[in-house]
Amino acid sequence: MTMIHIPLNHNLAERCCHVIFAFACLCGLPSEAQPPKEQIVRLQGVVRDPFGKPVTEAIVYVTSRSDHQQVEQLVTDSDGCFIADQEQQSVGTVYVHKDGFATASQPAPWEYYDLRRMEITLRTSSPFVGRIIDDQGNRIAGAKVGVEYYKISTGPDTSERHYFPPGDMLPHKLRPYVRTETNTQGEFRFDHLPDQTRAHFVVSRPGIAFLRTVMSSGHRDKVFTGTVDQPAIIEVEREGVIEGRVVTSLEGVSVQGLKIRLQCGLELLTADGSGVVPLTLQPDTMTDREGRFRFDGLAAGRANIILVDHEACPPWTYHAICNISIREGETTPAEIELISGTLVEGQVVDPYGQPLPDVQVSLTGFHRPKIGNDLLLTTTGPDGKYRFRLPSGSGSVFAVGRHMNAKRGDVARLEIDSGERSIDGPRLVIVP
């Protein structure tokens, strides 16, 4: 076993701390820097037409950042204004709709204690018409089509983007405006988009690969324009499928009910899967009684497969499946084995050697490819110790201060040889 400790200078450590802290905030971990949840703020806004005149009786939807289906519905008054009293941390996106105009979306003010007035401009709507076909030119009926976002030019070098999240993140009340289904001729139409807009779409149907034109291999960052006379043509491909299974020879370890995640992107730049850009919205899946799992509707490309939402130190560990190929119209097998692995026990201390409890420690590599925000987290105990159970390989262990103003974090490289039952983990030093 080789363990390499990497000392960090102040600036690099501080950046490391900020990255891990940002991830902790996304996970809902406590922090003194977050405003109290009972903080109520008044969100004020005005809706105008392209000529600056107030738009009355427009429907305003204010969504929650934590629960996308929690929506407060308002109506603009005679001055085009709306007011919503919300918890500061919960305010997400504001959507506005009125017939004759394009449905608009705008993130609510993000800044802490920011009570500024939102101004939302509605654009005149025009029919957007398109068609879904396969690589043979056949029209695809019954495909679900959704607007992910549209762009409109606001100047010679500027544009405005209105985002509508795919999947379940979009509130049900907004879906009739930006989601539809192709007819028997494979055609679709949206009546609530701006004139001459450029739009990105998501397309899905059993038997075809889930498509996001914003990032897919066939239409990467390609925007579409479509009119009655010149409909947008979007081409889809046959789905790829992964059929996998989790197995183990460990006594008393169940392979049922494990959550499996697919990290899927355009390409993996390195053999260990560390270069993938996760692009799909493939939902996590669970193993059945025999440990089987399945992912379908996949576009051709490569992927990583990992287990998520498990303890940092369960009685088992595993090696992630990295850089697996997904081929159009084919089924790819995959297998993950649960093994005993190596118990790693380390400690977090202050500069004087005193143990620090309740410090977040995260890990990359090993059973998680070195990408994205799928970090494995644990918390030090009263003795400042942390524990992971890991397979052989290499990775990095991070520790940050318990508060956002931590002056210095620490990171250490860790390598584990095959067959080691337990080892001492890095001693991480932070300035709380």
The answer to whether position 169 is within a domain reads: yes
Which CATH number belongs to the domain containing residue 291 in this structure? 2.60.40.1120
The range of the structural domain enclosing residue 137 comes to: 125-235
Token digits for 167?
């999947």
pTM: 0.71
Does 402 have pLDDT greater than 50? yes
CA–CA gap between residue 276 and residue 127 (Å, rounded) = 37
Each residue's pLDDT tens digit, 139-165: 999 999 999 989 888 788 888 889 998
* Number of domains observed in the structure of the chain: 4
- Nearest CA to 166 out of 131, 213, 227, 129 is that of 213
My answer on whether 213 and 153 are in the same domain is yes
What is the number of residues in the chain? 432
My answer on whether 387 and 414 are in the same domain is yes
- Nearest CA to 423 out of 348, 347, 344 is that of 344
Judged by DSSP in three states, 387 sits in: strand
pLDDT number for residue 154: 79
Each residue's pLDDT tens digit, 115-139: 557 899 999 999 999 999 998 999 9
Burial of 286 (0-12, 13-18, 19+ CB in 10 A): exposed
Judged by DSSP in three states, 297 sits in: strand
The answer to whether position 175 is within a domain reads: yes
Token digits for 153?
């030019």
Domain boundary among 99, 121, 143: 121
How far, in whole angstroms, is CA 100 from its chain's centroid? 33
Domain boundary among 87, 105, 121: 121
Which CATH number belongs to the domain containing residue 187 in this structure? 2.60.40
CA–CA gap between residue 256 and residue 288 (Å, rounded) = 5
Residue entry with tokens 């300035």? 431
Domain boundary among 235, 260, 276: 235
Alpha helix (H) ranges present in 256-342?
none
CA–CA gap between residue 176 and residue 29 (Å, rounded) = 35
At residue 186's C-alpha, the angle toward residues 180 and 191, to 5°, is 35
The answer to whether position 37 is within a domain reads: no
H or E element in which residue 127 lies: strand 125-133
My answer on whether 131 and 230 are in the same domain is yes
Q: What is the mean pLDDT of residues 282-294?
A: 94
